[in-house]
Structure 1
Amino acid sequence: MRFNESFQEFPMMETERLVLRELQPDDAEDYYTYFSDQEVTRFWGYDCPKDIKTVASTFVRFRNAFKRKEMIVWGIAFKETNQICGTCILGSFVRGSMANVSYNLSAEQWNKGIMIEALGAILPFGFHQLGLHRIQAMAMPENKASIRLLEKLDFKKEGLLRAYAFGSLFTDTLIYALLAEECN
């Protein structure tokens, strides 16, 4: 399967503990709860959602962006409960050969290997199913946890973008990348 064909149906995936799936209206409250935590959004660069209604409209934007082949937003849900605890986003596609990856996770789930497990499924999907050549990620230098995660996933630091637009902020931003031939 290649890039265009991959957007006909939402690509659900399973790992040992998780289901990576499309966000549903029933997920809005859980998303709002964890994404309203200032610690979760500290390095995100955007404001927290105002209310659950805002979250619901965000989910509609995610769904429409998928239909336009602009991004895929996976809700990270536990197999046991189907409750979401985070998201992974693959988007900003360039000619079907490159993409950005970003992610967020409920503070309750930090340091439990959830994100490395989720990205461990999403990165091979990007390279093998979408046919991407490069996946890149950006992190603020102060975001040590995100930097450790990217390095564990074999992303290579490529440089520092000075006073780069990170959401609504202008901040120094590190750029990391993983190439298809580097992904196991």
Structure 2
Amino acid sequence: MPFKDAFTSFPKLETDRFILRELRSEDAEAYYTYFSDHEVTKYWGYPGPKNIETASKTFTRFQNAFTRKEMITWGIASKDEEQIIGTCILNDFVRGSMVNLSYNLSRDYWGKGIMTEVLKTIIPFGFNELDINRIQAKVMPENHSSVNLLTKLGFVQEGLLRDYIFGEFITDTLIFSMLKKDSITAA
């Protein structure tokens, strides 16, 4: 599918346990609740929303960015429950050939293989449906969970960006990448 055609309607994806879907106004409270946890935002680079109304406005920005073909933000919801427990984002597309990957998850769900499962669906979508050649992720060196996750999935650590602007922080930042030709999930 050509890159431009991937943005005609929001791509709903499924894993064994989860539905990856567009965020809705009724998700604002769950989003606000887990993003209010400092442990969740510690490595995110931005503070969480100040209130539920701000969370809802964030969803509008996500939807507008999707319309402009700049970002896809999936809410992660269990197939058993509709409540979101995290998000996964592809953004900063470069000529339809490269994209940044970011993700977050409610602390209540850490250590259960959820993000591994979700990314094993998002990565092939990026390579095959969006025809992306390079997916990259930027991670603070102290974020050992993300470093381990990306390494386990086959991302290659390319280097360290010193005093890099990471959201609202200036911090050293690791950059990881996966190329379509190197991805076993692209097939």
Using the size of structure 2 for normalisation, the TM-score is 0.97
Matches within 5 A, 1:51-130: 51-130=51-130
User: Which residue of structure 2 lines up, in the alignment, with residue 152 of structure 1?
Assistant: 152
Q: Secondary structure at the match of 1:54?
A: helix
TM-aligned CA deviation for residue 183 of structure 1: 1.7
- Structure 2 counterpart of 1:38, which letter? H
User: Which residue of structure 1 lines up, in the alignment, with residue 50 of structure 2?
Assistant: 50
Distance in 1, matches of 2:51 and 2:136, equals: 31
- Structure 1 counterpart of 2:127, which letter? F
Distance in 2, matches of 1:81 and 1:45, equals: 29
TM-aligned CA deviation for residue 176 of structure 1: 0.2
Matches within 5 A, 1:164-179: 164-179=164-179
- Structure 1 counterpart of 2:32, which letter? Y
Q: Aligned pairs, how many? A: 184
Gaps of 5+ in 1: none
Q: Secondary structure at the match of 1:45?
A: coil
TM-aligned CA deviation for residue 182 of structure 1: 1.7
Distance in 2, matches of 1:20 and 1:48, equals: 21
- Percent of matched pairs sharing the same residue: 59
Q: 1:142-165 CA distances to partner (integer Å, 9 max, x unpaired)? A: 000000000011000000000000
User: Which residue of structure 2 lines up, in the alignment, with residue 20 of structure 1?
Assistant: 20
Gaps of 5+ in 2: none
Q: Secondary structure at the match of 1:123?
A: helix
User: Which residue of structure 2 lines up, in the alignment, with residue 182 of structure 1?
Assistant: 182
Matches within 5 A, 1:129-144: 129-144=129-144
- Structure 1 counterpart of 2:174, which letter? L
Distance in 2, matches of 1:123 and 1:2, equals: 16
Q: Does 1:2 align with 2:5?
A: no
Distance in 1, matches of 2:56 and 2:108, equals: 23
Distance in 2, matches of 1:2 and 1:116, equals: 27
- Structure 1 counterpart of 2:168, which letter? S
Q: 1:33-90 CA distances to partner (integer Å, 9 max, x unpaired)? A: 0011000000011112100000010000000000000000000000001111000000
Distance in 1, matches of 2:76 and 2:146, equals: 17
After superposing the two structures, state which structure 1 stretch, 40-49 or 66-75, moved more.
40-49
Distance in 2, matches of 1:49 and 1:182, equals: 37
Distance in 2, matches of 1:48 and 1:93, equals: 24
Moved runs in structure 1, 4+ residues, more than 4 A?
none
Using the size of structure 1 for normalisation, the TM-score is 0.99
Distance in 2, matches of 1:109 and 1:43, equals: 17
Distance in 2, matches of 1:82 and 1:2, equals: 31
TM-aligned CA deviation for residue 2 of structure 1: 1.7
